[in-house]
Every structure is written in structure tokens, then in C-alpha cells.
Chain A
Amino acid sequence: DIQLTQSPSFLSASVGDRVTITCRASQGISSYLAWYQQKPGKAPKLLIYATSTLQSGVPSRFSGSGSGTEFILTISSLQPDDFASYYCQQLNTYPLVAFGGGTKVEIK
């Protein structure tokens, strides 16, 4: 099974900060990686798929990069609406998929 490790698991940041979240896979997953945002009590929302493609309607301050085993989600200028938890997901072994452990972004 492919394991995904996200870091950090918790992040404290201020509005306007540049934020990066890393997702490492235990083996290569090509570009089959997605990122989700989840707010408390709500369902996850797809932000980015295929490593770097923004889902429709997602603000351009979000970006994704990487390949193989290391992937990064970047928020270029953190906004109040961005305080949430973020999860990566690998789809290289579809239909068997897996999520990373999550990163909670809180207000400093």
C-alpha cells in the first residue's frame, strides 16, 4: 500500500502569509495527486487535481507542484477563508486510493 505523509500536521500562520504544505508518498505516484480543503463540520472540497490543475472556481492563490514522491500545496497569500484542514490524496493505484493525514491551518 502507498502511504502519504503530510507535513506539518499543524500550522499557525497570519493573513497574508505564504504557506506551503508537503505531501510525501512512500513510492512514486506519477502526477496522480489531489488536494482537498475541509472546514469544520463540512465536507471536503476538491482544490487541485493531477498535482497542479486548479479545480474550477478555486482562487489562483492556491497552487500545486511536485512529481514522483514529493508534492507541495502552496497558498501564496493566506486569506481568512483559507483557515481549514488540507488533505492530499493519491490516485495512482485507482480504484484503491488513499488520503494523507491532514494539515490544520490555524490563525496565528
Chain B
Amino acid sequence: QVELVESGGGVVQPGRSLRLSCAASGFTFSDHDMHWVRQAPGKGLEWVAVIYFDDSAKYYADSVKARFTVSRDNSKNTLYLQMNSLRVEDTAVYYCARNYRGLIDPFGMDVWGQGTTVTVSS
């Protein structure tokens, strides 16, 4: 079945780094743009980053720009999020999500992982 499984979360001190992974299965990974979305404790959803299906472009939320890097390995069906210079306010559950689109128009995110928790604390 179609599935996304995140890993790599944990507790890290401010200023340190962490890399999240998202393993995809059950669909042609290389056909889809992929997103990272996070949710701080008790808060709403915040879009973090997107990478195009062919790795031709990447975009970031202002809150993580220059600190986070999204990447993918289509040969391994895996999405990554390298998080550097972590801050307390980066504490959240991080979800990877598959982009869903029509012929041209973006529709939303139709497949989500279960999430991985990142806690930034001294």
C-alpha cells in the first residue's frame, strides 16, 4: 500500500543538527513533489519545505530558510530534511507528505507519514 514512514527525530540541543528521513513505498516516488510540514505542540500546521519530483527546485518557509535543506534520493525512494542551527522553536512533529496534483493544478497533500518528533532543548 501507499506509505510514507519518517525517522530520525529525537532530542537535540539548540544549535545542533539533525537529519530526518522519509521512506516512501507503494507508489512511483519520482513522479511526485514532496513536502515537509511541521506541527509544534498544541499548535497548527506549518509548511516547511518542498522539493520537486525531479530535484530541479526546492523552496522553504522563511522560518527555516538557510538552516534547513530538503533533498531526495529517487533511487532509494527517500526524502530527507537536514536541519542545522536548531532552535527551541523548531520543536515539533515533522511530517512528510506527498503532493497531489492534476494535469497542471496543485490539489494538496494526499499521503502523509505518521510523523517524527523533534525536541530542541538544552
Give A residues with C-beta under 8 Å from B.
Answer: 32, 34, 36, 38, 43-46, 49-50, 53, 55, 85, 87, 89, 91, 94-102
Residues of B within 8 A of A95 (CB): 33, 50, 52, 57, 59, 106
- Interface residues in B86-122 by Cβ distance below 8 A to A read 95, 100, 102, 105-110, 112-115
Contacts known (A43-B114, A97-B47); A49 close to B108, Cβ less than 8 A: yes
Interface contact A44-B112, CB-CB below 8 Å: yes
The 4 closest A-B pairs by CB, nearest first: A34-B108, A43-B112, A49-B107, A94-B106
Give B residues with C-beta under 8 Å from A.
Answer: 33, 35, 37, 44-47, 50, 52, 57, 59, 95, 100, 102, 105-110, 112-115
Residues of B within 8 A of A99 (CB): 37, 44-47
Determine the distance from Cα of A108 to Cα of B72 in the docked complex, in whole angstroms.
Answer: 45
Interface contact A46-B44, CB-CB below 8 Å: no
Contacts known (A34-B107, A34-B108, A91-B107); A98 close to B47, Cβ less than 8 A: yes
